[in-house]
Amino acid sequence: MAKKESINMIDTFAEFKELKNIDRSTMISVLEESFRNVLSKMFGSDENFSVIINPDKGDCEIWRSRVVVEDGKVKKPNKQISLSEAKKIDEDYEVGEEVDDAIDFLSFGRRAVLTLRQTLVSKILDLQKDSLYTRYSELVGQIVSGEVYQVWKKEILLLDDQGNEMLLPKTEQIPTDFFRKGETVRAVVAKVENNNNNPKIMLSRTSNVFLERLLELEVPEINDGLITIKRIARIPGERAKVAVESYDDRIDPVGACVGIKGSRIHGIVRELRNESIDVIPFTNNISLFISRALSPAKISSIQLDHENKKANVFLKPEEIASAIGKNGLNIKLATKLTGYTVDVFRDGIGVDEEDILLEEFNDEIDNWVIDTLKSIGCDTAKSVLAIPREDLIERTDLEEETIDHVLEVIRAEFEE
């Protein structure tokens, strides 16, 4: 009966091992160490014990080695055995010899078995945490999938296919992301924290790396190394610019990334909640690169300040809105992509001229108001001041308070 209970105990841990994905040799080592810990607690030392784990048979054997001493001189019962007791095992034993006898672990009682189980479970959980931390540390920067298990205000809890927990913070979600329990979510592993041996897997959908990995999945030429992603700039959920370069003159890097009729880029756009993606060819020519980064606007000329990494870009009046983009997204992304602070000017108005483009006031005047003024032909501050207040109200259909605020801001600038 004792043997059957012992086998069942080993089988239980074998099943646990399979669930936790721990390899055979590690499991044997953990079992042996767990038995030795219990033996050490019970007898003060485990050095004279041999623990043999036999996973194929589903059992384990424990042997204790003791030295034969004369009757009445046993001082250390765990390491010594009297001659008369030794002879009960084998008549040939003599004083000074070593006796090896099998120990029935279950005979130590339920407390010993419970301690063994607790020790083993604790060690296996620690191993599992170490394994999880190691595995996901190697996946940092890679895309993983998880099922939404719990949605909270500041983060979402996902489970991978093995039931491991992953966190997608609100700050790492695309603003228009909306997930329900049970949905599958793709994200990139941003980092793995390990405080007090408690791995925390943090994901991101706003990282540039997420877009980079999606492109690698959709564009074989990138995955094969024929096309390289040189730089990425993103405003998650809104717009992104990707600079690519081909090492094979026969391959058009932009065309390969976009695909026929946008077939390759469409899937990525959907994944990123309709984030508009501009793909442009990379070049080391800064002027040309900035010009491409401001696409679809057409540049007339550029003045570069390499020391301060600034670029003054001159365009025809009808191109300025395109260069700046809706809510200033285009120029923001061009600045991120090139590393140069980009300022746009109407062609023919120098940097040192008194007139000022309306975009310069976007910290104090809402962009939609600026767009409305531009729609009636007012691109600069002086062009606004040149129109009577009543005419501005009538032509723009803006509230009187709005027009008065605009005039106040612009006049204050010139008074300074």
pLDDT of the chain along its 416 residues, tens only?
Answer: 344 445 455 555 555 555 455 667 777 787 888 888 888 888 888 888 888 877 666 677 888 899 998 888 888 888 888 988 888 888 888 888 888 888 887 777 788 778 887 887 788 788 888 888 999 999 999 999 999 999 999 999 999 998 999 999 999 999 999 999 999 999 999 999 998 888 999 999 999 999 999 999 999 999 999 999 999 999 999 999 999 999 888 899 999 999 999 999 999 999 999 999 999 999 999 999 999 999 999 888 888 899 999 998 888 888 888 888 888 899 999 999 999 999 888 775 544 456 788 888 888 898 888 888 877 767 778 878 888 888 888 878 889 999 999 999 988 887 75
367-375 vs 400-415: helix crossing angle, rounded to 10: 90
Question: Tokens standing for 363?
Answer: 């910290």
Please give the pLDDT value at position 21. Answer: 58
Pick left, alpha or beta for residue 53 (phi over 0 → left; psi -120 to 50 → alpha; otherwise beta): beta
* CATH fit for domain 147-206, picks 2.160.10.10, 2.40.50.140, 2.60.40.10, 1.10.12.10: 2.40.50.140
Please give the pLDDT value at position 1. Answer: 35
Q: Are 359 and 374 in contact (CB under 8 A)?
A: no
Query: For domain 2-134, which architecture applies?
Result: 2-Layer Sandwich (3.30)
The size of the chain, in residues, is 416
Q: Any residues with CB less than 8 A from the CB of 255 and at least 6 apart, and which? A: none
Task: Report the b/e string of 91-105 with b at 16+ CB within 10 A.
Answer: eebeeeeebeeeeeb
Write out the residue limits of the CATH 1.10.150 domain(s) in the chain. 354-416
Please give the pLDDT value at position 27. Answer: 75
Q: Which amino acid is at 374?
A: K
Question: Tokens standing for 204?
Answer: 């991101």
Write out the residue limits of the CATH 3.30.300.20 domain(s) in the chain. 283-351
24-43 vs 2-20: helix crossing angle, rounded to 10: 130
Write out the residue limits of the CATH 3.30.1480 domain(s) in the chain. 2-134
At residue 274, φ and ψ (nearest 5 deg) are 65, 30
Strand blocks (E) in 42-132 = 49-54, 59-69, 80-82, 98-103
Q: Using alpha carbons, select from 249, 247, 269 the residue that is nearest to residue 259.
A: 269
Q: Which fold has domain 354-416?
A: DNA polymerase; domain 1 (1.10.150)
Q: Any residues with CB less than 8 A from the CB of 268 and at least 6 apart, and which? A: 211, 214, 215, 218, 277
Q: What would the CATH number be for the domain defined by 283-351?
A: 3.30.300.20
Half-sphere exposure of 134 (CA within 13 A, CB side): 6
Peptide bond into 77 cis (omega under 30): no
Please give the pLDDT value at position 293. Answer: 96
Q: State whether the Cα torsion 346-351-356-359 is positive or negative.
A: positive
Please give the pLDDT value at position 3. Answer: 44
